[in-house]
Amino acid sequence: MRLLLVEDDNHVAAALSAVLARHGFDVTHARSGEEALQALVPEGNGFGVVLLDLGLPDQDGYEVCGKIRKRTSTPVIMVTARSDVRSRIHGLNLGADDYVVKPYDTGELLARIHAVSRRTVQEDDAGAGGEGVLRLGTVHIELPTRQVSVDGSVVQLTRKEFDLLALLAQRPGVVFRREQIISEVWRTSWEGTGRTLEVHVASLRAKLRMPALIETVRGVGYRLVAPAS
C-alpha cells in the first residue's frame, strides 16, 4: 500500500518510514502542507492512507486536513501531541478518519492504518454495485456469501479460515502482524494462540493449492501475495 507521511521533522519521518517499509508500505514523505497537497494530485494519487502531523511549518494541520478532504476521499489519520478532547473532535469533524496521540505505540498505529484502509475497501465494494468480491488473479473471495473459488471451483473453508483469508486479501502485499491477525480474526490476545494461526495458514495454503499465496514475514507476520491472473 502507498502511504503519504506528512511530517516536518526529518528524524521522526525517517524512523517511522523505516518501520512502515518493514511492514510492506511504500512511503512518500511530505515535509509541509503544500507538499502533501501536491502529492495528492490527481485525485488521491493512489495513496491508501495519509498520516498527517498537525504541527507543520507552512500551515496548520487542521487546515491541510480540510483541503485534503475536499480533494480526495483518501483516509486521513491525524498524528499529533494535541491530546485534549476538543482537538480530537475538531479533527474528526474536519474529515479525519482517525486520531493518534503522540507518543504512540507503533503496533497501535499500524493497527489503525489497517483499520481505516479496510473500512475504505469495504465501502468501495459496497459502492461498486454492492458485490463485495475480492478478485486476486484466479482467486475470488465473495464477502457477502463467504464463498471462495479458485479457477472457478469452490473451495470449502472453515469460518476462521475464511476470516483469515479475507483479512489478508483486503490489502495484498501489506504485512499483517501476528498480534493484529489474532486480535481481528480470533478476537483474543496473542498469548497461547500463535500455534492456531500457523495451523490455519498451513491449512489455507493446502486447500487453495497455492503454497506461495500467503507469505511468512519472519519475525513479523504474514502477507498475501496476489497471484497472476
Domain containing 205 equals 131-224
- Asked whether residue 147 falls in the same domain as residue 108, the answer is no
Cell numbers that stand for 27 in this block? 512511503
Note if the pTM is more than 0.95.
no
**Whole-number Å distance between alpha carbons of 12 and 9:** 5
- Asked whether residue 214 falls in the same domain as residue 116, the answer is no
- Asked whether residue 93 falls in the same domain as residue 147, the answer is no
For the domain that residue 136 is a member of, what is the CATH number? 1.10.10.10
Whether 33 is in a domain gets the answer: yes
- Asked whether residue 100 falls in the same domain as residue 189, the answer is no
Output the CA torsion 194→195→200→206 (10° steps): 130
Q: How far apart are the first and last CA of the chain?
A: 20
- Asked whether residue 118 falls in the same domain as residue 135, the answer is no
- Asked whether residue 6 falls in the same domain as residue 118, the answer is yes
Whether 229 is in a domain gets the answer: no
For 176-204, the pLDDT digits (tens) are: 888 888 878 887 665 555 678 898 999 99
The set of residues, in sequence order, having a beta carbon less than 8 Å from that of 179 and lying 6+ positions away, is 107, 189, 190, 221
For the domain that residue 91 is a member of, what is the CATH number? 3.40.50.2300
Whether 45 is in a domain gets the answer: yes
For 71-102, the pLDDT digits (tens) are: 888 889 999 888 888 888 888 888 888 899 88
Taking the CA atoms of 189, 177, 13 and 48 in sequence, report the sign of the dihedral they define: negative
Last residue of a domain, one of 89, 122, 155: 122
Parallel, antiparallel or unpaired: strands 98-101 and 133-136: unpaired
Q: What is the mean pLDDT of the chain?
A: 86
